[in-house]
Structure 1
């Protein structure tokens, strides 16, 4: 066994003249490497006495030394989240996307360097619908847990997933709503046209939950409403 030598971290005090026969060892700023069995050996001219062993266990709840940060990448590119963690025992690192644990089966690449505490999540070929949202890094060991949530913002040109009907028939005077579902980030701006003339914005609606763009025709008539309708989407990354 290694003999401890007094240092800046290890302090040893001997009995004093006031009758206190206690020997004390104090370890400052305890580290995982200080874990183990400790004993004391006392020697004088009459002989040597050794104490029983005292087991010292060092624990540390998980913590982030460097937190992951929000990432913004374009559709089809690779997103990388990096963090540096500490704790004893070494914490387990769990990555979640929108509350669901990520695994290699999801196409995610998860790396952990135990000696350095460096952890990394790589998501190749990000997709707006599949990957955009919150990314959580959770640390766990037997002494506790900690987590940090950031975001993955996926930039994507507008993509129409539900088209306008090719033809719409209705009874004169009955309200009609045209609907188009479009994905894109940033959210695409929509401009509606009737016979190539821009439509008044008060007749245009957007359902954020469905990503649905709507055009409301109130009490349409043959004279005022019959014709061709179209919509153009833009968000700075392109057009559908």
Structure 2
């Protein structure tokens, strides 16, 4: 009999063989609320879907169920359980039919949380026309949305003298007497809302000051296509001019480049070519006096398959070659599974330098796997 290949199947698998339509993905669950993890498979029936948590089989119960379409349903996500671990962990599903077993990617399930602030804004006095900077930090899961209040009223962010950076930083440039007051930040996510300590901003008289970089760029590691924000805020009287360059002399470019506030550099949709050391300089107008600060930007790329293994039919005693090629930064580590178990090199299995597994199939071999 001849089996037809599915149209549009990038791996060229046969219609009767198993393949995932939808694998479980990382998720942040909310305590005491339902949670569903997808596992949709196609292939020749019957197909049995089972789930594992942290590598161990996951028993079903009225609280934990596997639906008909393979989806895992947890009725009420719990942080702690009597006599067992919490629902947090790594989950994967396994689908099996008469052709073999297919194991999904591991999905991390975390509990939404919002602990106390570990950095609070500090009170400060600033010369009129100078720069004020407040910062708060909190480790929320998921990442908290940060907003700011002055005198317990939401800050008017339409004023272009106010710059909010996603790292919990508030910059106020060209400060005036009307900016004086009590500042605090508000953190909100799906778990909770928290308020930082309050910080006072006092405005003093204008005096001459040499250029000073209050906060320069920090070392930053992000993934391709994300947005990089490198902070550079400088003060002085007269107000210094902030400029950017790369330490290697290469051009920063203009596409996707934007300046936030008076000197922060934002690079949208970063690529691997954006990796490098960036230098911000604060110059006193009309002079050669300058201050510099630098930070390293590292751009990484997630693993990506360039070539997938193809299904083959071989007589016993022959050899089958499966090829898998992937790229990423840093370079990805490849492992192979056979029926859900890690495949190790042996007397009839070997791995070549270009990531090709050569498996000798013979009629007299012991079928132990």
TM-score of the aligned structures, taking structure 2 as reference length? 0.29
Which has more radius of gyration? 1
The structure in which a higher percent of residues are strand is: 1
Answer 1 or 2: higher relative contact order, Cα 8 Å, separation at least 6: 1
TM-score of the aligned structures, taking structure 1 as reference length? 0.41
